[in-house]
Copies of this chain bind each other. A is one copy, B any other.
Amino acid sequence: MVTDKGGRHRNPLAALGEFIQKKGLKHSRQRDAIARAFFAMGGHVPVDALVARVREQDPRVSVATVYRTMKLLAECGLAVPRRFGEGQTRYEPSTRRHSDAHDHLICTSCGEIVEFESDRISELQLRVARRHGFEIDRRRVELYGRCSDCRRGTSKGESIA
């Protein structure tokens, strides 16, 4: 096992290898290249950007393969798919120090994405849900607005929804 106590992966590439083995799948140059590129990029990577990055090394990897590989990474818990306002799916590595139950602040003008986590907020949400008879197993919290840099650049503050 290449995962530590918290279930997080010290070495994602090795973890992927294990998963492939365990499932009776096969290793491949492409999967390795895609996974490497993905973890090298970090952040919240749109698939097309990942395709571009991978193709710098090997121009003939197919988009289909990249999609397939990202599904694989998601399946084994090394990546988490996210959908923000746009149409595309972004993948986020889940090898981080913090848990993956974090939320996102998204700057609508420069696209910056900041992660945050608040136990108090989560706690309140669970409580509200419980009050309505719900048992929550997945949350999606996205706050859209403008980061300090962007506000500085233009007319100061707008409305707060």
* A interface residues with partner B (beta carbon < 8 Å): 101, 105, 107-108, 114, 116, 118, 120-121, 124-126, 128-129, 132-149, 151, 157-161
Q: Copies per complex?
A: 2
* 13 further A-B pairs in the complex, CB-CB below 8 A; given A134-B143, A134-B147, A141-B142: A105-B129, A114-B132, A121-B121, A121-B124, A121-B128, A133-B149, A134-B146, A134-B148, A136-B143, A137-B144, A137-B160, A138-B161, A140-B140
Interface of A, secondary structure class, is mixed
B132, B140, B145: the one contacting A136 at CB < 8 Å is B145
CB-CB under 8 A for A144 and B140, given A124-B124, A160-B126: yes
A161 close to B139 (CB less than 8 A): yes
Could you say which residues of chain B place their CB within 8 Å of the CB of A132?
Answer: 105, 114, 116, 147
